[in-house]
Amino acid sequence: MTSLWPRIEPLLAGVEKPARYIGMERGSRSPHHGPGAVSWLLVYPDTYEIGLPNQGLQILYEILNERPDAAAERSYAPWLDLAAALREHAVPLFSVDTHRPAADFDIVAFNLSAELVYTNLLECLDLAGIPVRGSQRDEDHPVVVAGGHCTFNPEPMTDFVDAFVIGDGEEPVGEMTECIGDWKRAGRPGGRTGMLRALAAVPGVYVPSMYDVEYDGPALRSVTPRFNDVPSVVEKRTVADLAEWPYPKEQLVPLIEVVHDRLNVELFRGCTRGCRFCQAGMITRPVRERPADQVRAMVEAGLARTGYDEVALTSLSSADFSGIDSLVSDLVNDQVGCGNVGVSLPSLRVDAFTVGIASEIQKVRRTGLTFAPEGGSWRLRQVINKLITEEDLYAAVEGAYSQGWRRVKLYFLVGLPTEMDEDTLGIAELARNVVKIGKQHTKQASCTVSVGGFVPKAHTPFQWFGQNGISELRRKITMLRDDLKKTAAQVRWHDPEATFAEGIASRGDRRIGAVIERVWRAGGTFQEWSEHFQLGRWTDAMAAEGLDPDWYVTRHRTEDEVLPWDHIAAGLHRDFLWQDWQSSLAAHGLPDCRWTPCYDCGVCTDYALEHVVAAAVPPAGGSQGTGQDLSNGGAVPVVLSPTRIAAS
């Protein structure tokens, strides 16, 4: 066995939180790396505490290790202190499971869930002794793979990643294992290029080196496959039925505290609420619920195995799960485990019904509750299709304070399309009213307003929108802070400079790869950590590459423009997205297609998929902008959008 542990161990005495690097979690494996097995190193390019809980990575870790032809281990980005020590002592990046060198694996696969971790991918490769650029790797180097939401615009990372997996990874990882296993057994025909070309034939796998890119000045002209067995458009993969994938079965239990340190059980994937800013909602359609009985079984088995005293029921909008109320009350009243088990529902919907569920599960310790209205006025919320009325919000807040919560946190975006100062000031107005409602119930009532700068994302109706610049975002945030001075509302905001850098990477093309490499070479790792972020590294890199940041970030795109991700398909028709963008500008909302007729965005129709939902009626609660009383659950709300999608 090639374990680096004896060389790593002496370095750990001198680093912060050495337990990040020891592995040994309950649920971790020491897989056998036989000659017949294709070995995967699954890397989360951020700290252990942030990366360990990642469900996607844990699911693939289990699925791969269950296969006789695969072995999977994990790694996380070493913190700056260990990275320096590894370089000083010439110790390469390693897996935390058996402390094998990263470069000994057949595949090194990264989870990319945020653009600001891109430079960490380069750092990990470099620490592993793998050339950061794919073009410099040879047959003996691992294949570098990436998955996760960011791969829906893979272009900025194409210099560094050999193959991207688009969409749900459960099925393609098996197919890739077979593909690489076959290639190895056949004596590696065609060398590295032969293997990459074979990978390009796996559905949902995008191999960027198989495509030619042409530019027309600053504009992109085309991305075309170089061979006719390489797809001109790579379609995302979708698990049709979550019930067939009850993973993770053995969630990892870390020895040190991590984020989301609890049992996490996924309720459903996909969301058709249709919030136009939300890439996660758009690219994960359609909605696929896990059967409630399977959820119950996973919770019960998970608590018994892990010893956790808290379970989170995760999804993009957990209160939308069919029969969420009965599921929650079953879990709360069932004495699973040793008793005193807490249930939490991340991503709460903004309405009184949801607060009712929250009060059922948080019988004690009602400190804070978070809602995300996102936009400050009803007009703007129609623009972004987050159809929450003021009444919905106030009813939710009234419910929260009256049932004993003292702190309400509100999430908003600034820099949204068509946003005017009155919309921004609408945030302050809402916050003041929320405080007023709170004060009727408790003197200690407080409200925190959290403001993030909006970054347009690929495969959303806002992919054509020019992001607000740094000074504009700053002006809006300052205006909002001034307006909320001397109130009980506190304002927290995200650094507009980091929002700008995220914008460069979010809708970048292949030319941004050189920029990312320069930022990394200048020492810019852990860019989502404000203490390590410097915009100067990004703007210097753009200047050195002769690229105009505003062209990438603040410019509106036109309908006929070739977008860097046009050859990657999330199933959403471009016509639908453009039409929805136009509806947005006209402040027209669009209903939820789970409960109203399909408007043919393309996902179900093209991929022969269907929503998998247990209830055909909307959940009780929010009026969803229809003005209809849905306090008991109810009939299908009226159609909101007067604009029909033009037939293509």
Partner 1 sequence: MRGDAGFPIRIAFTKQGKVRFISHRDVARAFERAFRIEQLPLAFTLGFSPRPKVSFGLALSVGHESDAEYLDLELAEPVAVEPLAAAISAALPEGIHVFDVVALADRAPALQEAVTLVEWNIEVVPGAAQESGVIDASPEPVAARVAAVLGSDTLVVDRVRKGKTTQEDIRPVIRRITVLGASEQGTLTTVELSTHPTSVRPAELVAVIGQEFCEGRVRRTRQWIERDGERLDPLAADPRIALEARAS
Residues that bind partner 1 (CB under 8 A): 5, 12-13, 18-19, 21-26, 253, 255-257, 303-309, 337-338, 340, 364-365
Residue 423 and residue 316 in contact, taking contact as beta carbons nearer than 8 Å? no
- E-assigned strands of 379-445? 407-414
* Closest CB to ligand SF4 among residues 61, 599: 599
Minimum CB separation from partner 1 for residue 357, in Å? 20
Specify the residue for token string 């896990």. Answer: 290
Burial (CB count <10 Å: 0-12, 13-18, 19+), residue 146: buried
Query: If we measure between CA atoms, which residue out of 606, 595, 597 comes closest to residue 648?
Result: 606
Query: If we measure between CA atoms, which residue out of 109, 115, 124, 127 comes closest to residue 157?
Result: 115
* Closest CB to ligand SF4 among residues 470, 569: 569
286 binds, among ligand SF4, partner 1, none (CB under 5 to 8 A by kind): ligand SF4
479 binds, among partner 1, ligand SF4, none (CB under 5 to 8 A by kind): none
* Closest CB to ligand SF4 among residues 107, 577: 577
Tell whether the torsion through CA atoms of 142, 143, 144 and 146 is positive or negative: negative
340 binds, among partner 1, ligand SF4, none (CB under 5 to 8 A by kind): partner 1
Strands 310-314 and 342-344: parallel
Print burial letters for 311-333: b (CB count within 10 Å at least 16), e (below 16). bbbbbbbbbbbbebbebbeebbe
Query: Would you count residue 562 as binding ligand SF4 (CB under 6 A)?
Result: no
186 binds, among partner 1, ligand SF4, none (CB under 5 to 8 A by kind): none
Minimum CB separation from partner 1 for residue 56, in Å? 24
Among positions 167, 174, 286, 452, the unique one binding ligand SF4 when judged by CB under 6 A:
286
Minimum CB separation from ligand SF4 for residue 470, in Å? 35
Query: Would you count residue 94 as binding ligand SF4 (CB under 6 A)?
Result: no
* Closest CB to partner 1 among residues 186, 255: 255
Cβ atoms within 10 Å of 561's Cβ, excluding its own: 13
Minimum CB separation from ligand SF4 for residue 599, in Å? 5
Query: If we measure between CA atoms, which residue out of 447, 305, 461 comes closest to residue 373?
Result: 447
Among positions 242, 328, 603, 645, the unique one binding ligand SF4 when judged by CB under 6 A:
603
CA 428/CA 539 separation, integer angstroms: 33
User: How big is the site for ligand SF4, counted in residues (CB under 6 A)?
Assistant: 12
Rounded alpha-carbon distances, angstroms, from residue 432 to 397, 426, 448, 453:
12, 10, 11, 21
Query: Would you count residue 512 as binding ligand SF4 (CB under 6 A)?
Result: no
581 binds, among partner 1, ligand SF4, none (CB under 5 to 8 A by kind): none
Minimum CB separation from ligand SF4 for residue 238, in Å? 11
* Closest CB to ligand SF4 among residues 99, 386: 386
308 binds, among partner 1, ligand SF4, none (CB under 5 to 8 A by kind): partner 1
Tokens for 122, please give them.
């380069």
348 binds, among partner 1, ligand SF4, none (CB under 5 to 8 A by kind): none
CA 75/CA 51 separation, integer angstroms: 9
26 binds, among partner 1, ligand SF4, none (CB under 5 to 8 A by kind): partner 1
Specify the residue for token string 């069932």. Answer: 334
Query: Would you count residue 283 as binding ligand SF4 (CB under 6 A)?
Result: no
5-12 helix and 80-88 helix, angle to the nearest 10 degrees: 130
Helix (H/G/I), strand (E/B), else coil: 451 = strand
Tokens for 466, please give them.
């020019």
Query: Would you count residue 607 as binding ligand SF4 (CB under 6 A)?
Result: no
Minimum CB separation from partner 1 for residue 343, in Å? 15
Residue 614 and residue 599 in contact, taking contact as beta carbons nearer than 8 Å? no
Query: Would you count residue 167 as binding ligand SF4 (CB under 6 A)?
Result: no
Question: Would you give the distance in Å from CA 602 to the centre of its chain?
Answer: 22
Minimum CB separation from partner 1 for residue 21, in Å? 8
Among positions 103, 328, 604, 640, the unique one binding ligand SF4 when judged by CB under 6 A:
604
Cβ atoms within 10 Å of 531's Cβ, excluding its own: 6
23 binds, among partner 1, ligand SF4, none (CB under 5 to 8 A by kind): partner 1
Among positions 12, 240, 522, 598, the unique one binding ligand SF4 when judged by CB under 6 A:
598
13 binds, among partner 1, ligand SF4, none (CB under 5 to 8 A by kind): partner 1
Helix (H/G/I), strand (E/B), else coil: 491 = strand
Tokens for 489, please give them.
């509302």
Minimum CB separation from partner 1 for residue 12, in Å? 6
CA 208/CA 510 separation, integer angstroms: 10
* Closest CB to partner 1 among residues 96, 372: 96
Print burial letters for 266-302: b (CB count within 10 Å at least 16), e (below 16). bbbbbbbbbbbbbbbbbbbbbbbbbebeebbebbebb
In the chain, the largest separation of any two C-alpha atoms, in whole Å, equals 75
Burial (CB count <10 Å: 0-12, 13-18, 19+), residue 379: middle
Report DSSP state, residue 386: -
Please count the CA atoms within 13 angstroms of the CA of 130 that sit on its side-chain side: 32
Residue type for position 50: I
Query: Would you count residue 605 as binding ligand SF4 (CB under 6 A)?
Result: yes
593 binds, among partner 1, ligand SF4, none (CB under 5 to 8 A by kind): ligand SF4
Minimum CB separation from ligand SF4 for residue 147, in Å? 22
Q: Which stretch binds ligand SF4 (CB under 6 A): 199-207, 319-327, 357-365, 597-605?
A: 597-605
Among positions 242, 408, 601, 613, the unique one binding ligand SF4 when judged by CB under 6 A:
601
Query: Would you count residue 600 as binding ligand SF4 (CB under 6 A)?
Result: yes
Q: Which stretch binds ligand SF4 (CB under 6 A): 260-268, 398-406, 599-607, 624-632?
A: 599-607
Residue 219 and residue 561 in contact, taking contact as beta carbons nearer than 8 Å? yes
540 binds, among ligand SF4, partner 1, none (CB under 5 to 8 A by kind): none
* Closest CB to ligand SF4 among residues 178, 600: 600
Binding site for ligand SF4 (CB under 6 A): 272, 285-286, 593, 598-605
